[in-house]
Homo-oligomer: A and B are copies of this chain.
Amino acid sequence: VSSEDDATPWLSPEELSAWMGFSAMLLTMPTAIDAQLKRDAGMNLFEYTVLAGLSEIESRCTRMANLAALSAGSPSRLSHAVARLERQGWLERRPQPEGAPRSTDVYLTDAGFDALKAAAPGHVREVRRLVLDGLTSAQIGQLGRISRQLLDISAPETAALIERRRTLGN
């Protein structure tokens, strides 16, 4: 669809080839990952990420804004998801009366922790099947690095949290 004389920085053949593969993968991978989680554990990847993020905090509790950064979601997306998870009894919200403006603390319940523990093995197997098994260990490293660099542009707070966690001990 490109014309000849314009200021648009059209993609080179190499760039176009990479983008066509990447965008097709973006269109299919989330669906594939969600399908297994939904079928076997009644949650999607975003909800799993929310539960998993909370489970790694000693207190199993944090504020909505921090949880949004941890799980790479917008405030609105997180609010809707937390409402669903709360209905399942997997989470509890407790508005903090102090501070200005008021924040909301979210707690992972025991039932939520159990649901996460039950979901994890199947999810990990699917991640292996759909992602890791198809790549060499060098490519796994490349994919991680590339993903973190991209996150740094479109979700810098999430990128910073992931980088922090990665650099420490693990």
Contact = CB atoms under 8 A, between A and B. Distances in A.
Nearest to A27: B72
Nearest to A142: B142
14 contacts: A1-B113, A1-B117, A14-B140, A17-B166, A18-B144, A18-B147, A19-B127, A19-B132, A21-B147, A25-B147, A25-B151, A27-B73, A28-B151, A28-B154
Contacts of A131: 19, 22, 150
Task: Report copies per complex.
Answer: 2
Contacts of A141: 14, 18
A146 B154 contact: no
Interface string A1-37: 1110010111101111111111111111111110000
B158 A128 contact: no
A149 B125 contact: no
A143 B55 contact: no
A134 B120 contact: no
